[in-house]
Chains A and B, each alone.
Chain A
Amino acid sequence: MFSRIFPFSMHIVRGHSMQPNIKDGDRVIVFNWAYLFSRPKIGDVVVFSGSDGKEYVKRITAAAAKNEFVVEGDNKEDSRKMPPVKKSAIIGRVIARY
């Protein structure tokens, strides 16, 4: 929750599941207030807290239930299945990479 005090945050991406759009080592800028007053949309790339305490970057591909979303990597060869993510676990939307 602390990160949401600030509207933007920067992160370094580790892993290959978002290739070719986000590569291992890329930096991303996240808008942490993106979903304060709106719902995440299919196609949004989001950073969220996983159940293991780590933070992940994935793309929303479907709505699983009310306020629960299916997330997947863009690289289907390296994208391992994750359980649906609750809106409350989503930290923000990736708005840029560099």
Chain B
Amino acid sequence: MKTVTGLFAALMRKSEKLLEPSLVYAHCDIPCGIYETNSMTTAADTVAKMVEKILDLKGMELVDRNNFVRMVHVKEEHAQKCKQELLILWTDYFKDEHLAKFPDLHTKVWKATKLCSQAKRTVDLKVAQQLKEAVADIARIFAETKK
């Protein structure tokens, strides 16, 4: 399997309006119980670490600017990953019985995903910390449901 990039990939994307590619699934929706919270926790930690590093940047040399772009990219990527992992738990794992036990679960997940978006838009340690706490809270609820 080759990875296509550049002009050909751009042309293929353009052609999608005409060719309408169909969806294929890289999961099977069989309830197997394989869910975890490490990925979203690591993603939230990475976002916070990138915010710290961006705020610590001082120079404006080429290498600093290069690092800045890379850090923003990693922050963006992991905020999105965190959001995806939260949504997987929300849509695939949490059930009615969990909601009965944790009635504010919907609100907590909703606010945590909002924080992922906020973490993308901002370079704010407070937001990053709030995201870490929100994710830790949902991880705690997840662990409670496993007992």
Which A residues form the contact surface with B (CB < 8 A)? 9-19, 21-22, 24, 27-29, 45, 47, 50, 52, 54-58, 73, 77-82, 94-98
Contact = CB atoms under 8 A, between A and B. Distances in A.
B28 A97 contact: no
Given A95-B2, A96-B2, A80 B32 contact: yes
Task: Say which size band chain B's interface belongs to.
Answer: 20 to 34
B100 interface: no
What is the predominant secondary structure among interface residues of chain B facing chain A? mixed
B24 A81 contact: no
Contact of A56 (B3, B21, B24): B24
Contacts, number: 103
B143 interface: no
Contact of A81 (B30, B39, B84): B30
Contacts of B15: 10
B146 interface: no
Given A10-B12, A82-B30, A96-B1, A54 B25 contact: yes
Contact of B1 (A16, A52, A81, A97): A97
Contact of A27 (B12, B26, B29, B32): B12
A80 B34 contact: yes
Contact of A98 (B4, B23, B30): B4
